[in-house]
Amino acid sequence: MRIGIACFPTYGGSGIIATELAHLLSEKHELHLVSYDTPVRLEDKVNFSFHKVELLSYPLFERVPCCYSLALISKLSEVIKNHNLDIVHAHYAVPNATSAYLAKKICNDSVKVVTTLHGTDSYLVGSHPSYKEVTQFSMQNSDALTTVSEYLKERTITEFNLTKKIRVIPNFVDPQKFKRLNKDGNERIVCHSSNFRPIKRIPDIIKAFKEILQEVECKLFLIGDGPEKPKAQKIARNLGISDNIKFFGNVKNVQQIIGKCDLFLLPSDDESFGLAALEAMSCEVPIIATNVGGLKELISHGVDGYLIEVGNVKMLAQHAIKILKNPVLQREFGRNAKRKVLEKYIPDRILPQYEDLYDATLREN
């Protein structure tokens, strides 16, 4: 097959999964990746082509978000025509699915559009009054539509009143890349990785860590960057625990850090799946997360981690202390987490699902 993938290049889960999928698909298919910049997980040597969407620098367009959508439509149309694509796989609804649909029309329906929803693209951005109608139209008129969790599937159907069939294909992780690593010392390490948006509740992590430090000598590693980072740094200073916290910023090889950690915290308001948690689980790191969204499908309470209610900082700290004080429990949870990853979330399990979907979509009129 000749496949094009349209995605965002940033550190968010949708871009990461799209890029990893491109690497895998390129081993058997002709693959073309389209975005406005080099994706963060794009390796130096790849078996596929990267097509950069060039944006017009013009004062009129400086505050007009549609300029990227138009440029993406043009680039996708160009790639479809020049390489006779069979499939365009759009990751993230706004604007990628819409742009893919319009590129298909420009090319006289000569290509099939598969859209994968990752979460905020549908129920946050896509459901905003400014975008809802076009997002709904793009979903409904995709040749195939997938979500990364059952939770996201049901929420999308409800909020957009869709009649389109949605197939759930979960995220995946490479267990050879994300694995347990030896630490240099015996220091206990608590970790979190995200894009530091308010929905991730970084202040809850720092406040809980203050309580953890009263019982366990450890460090907190915070990986990522975003609007909440300055606020998080200020809270840490005010609580007097800055010396025990390291802010890494955006890291390309995040597995080199997570693989050496003892506990991963993800107390989000909402998560459509929780790719960061999955990567930690593959590294045999127990998870404490909120009992919301796709996290309920990923984490088994008391088996590979703990689930808490949103905003319960005290319970977050108590569960963390329990795990950090009990190495046997930590290892048990970590082994259970890795076992689940190997059973359900490795590329060998997920890639065939996408290939089957592509085949089925191409057979349809």
| Residue 194: C-alpha distances to residues 49, 191, 229, 351 (Å) | 28, 10, 10, 25
Spatial neighbors of 89 by CB under 8 A, at least 6 apart, are 3, 4, 5, 6, 18, 21, 114, 115, 116, 354
2-6 β-sheet, strand order: 49-52, 30-35, 2-6, 87-91, 112-117, 144-147, 166-168
Query: Residues 181-204: pLDDT tens digits?
Result: 998 888 899 999 999 999 999 999
Mean pLDDT of 109-135: 81
Q: Is the pLDDT of residue 94 over 90?
A: no
Instruction: Give the pLDDT confidence score for residue 252 in this predicted structure.
Output: 86
Instruction: Give the pLDDT confidence score for residue 315 in this predicted structure.
Output: 98
Query: What's the CA gap between 191 and 294, in Å, rounded?
Result: 20
CB of 125 within 8 A of CB of 43? no
Tokens standing for 62? 């400086």
Q: How many CB atoms lie within 10 A of CB 352?
A: 10
Q: What are phi and psi of 127, to 5 degrees?
A: -90, -5
Confidence band, pLDDT 50/70/90 cuts, at residue 84: very high
Instruction: Give the pLDDT confidence score for residue 54 in this predicted structure.
Output: 87
Tokens standing for 13? 């889960």
CB of 142 within 8 A of CB of 101? yes
Mean pLDDT of 338-357: 98
Query: Residues 225-253: pLDDT tens digits?
Result: 999 999 999 999 999 999 999 999 999 89
**What domains are defined for the chain?**
2-172+346-363 (3.40.50.2000), 188-344 (3.40.50.2000)
Query: Residues 10-20: pLDDT tens digits?
Result: 877 888 999 99
Query: What's the CA gap between 196 and 263, in Å, rounded?
Result: 18
Lowest-pLDDT range, 108-122, 168-182, 190-204? 108-122
Lowest-pLDDT range, 51-65, 129-143, 257-271, 336-350? 51-65
Q: Is the pLDDT of residue 58 over 60?
A: no
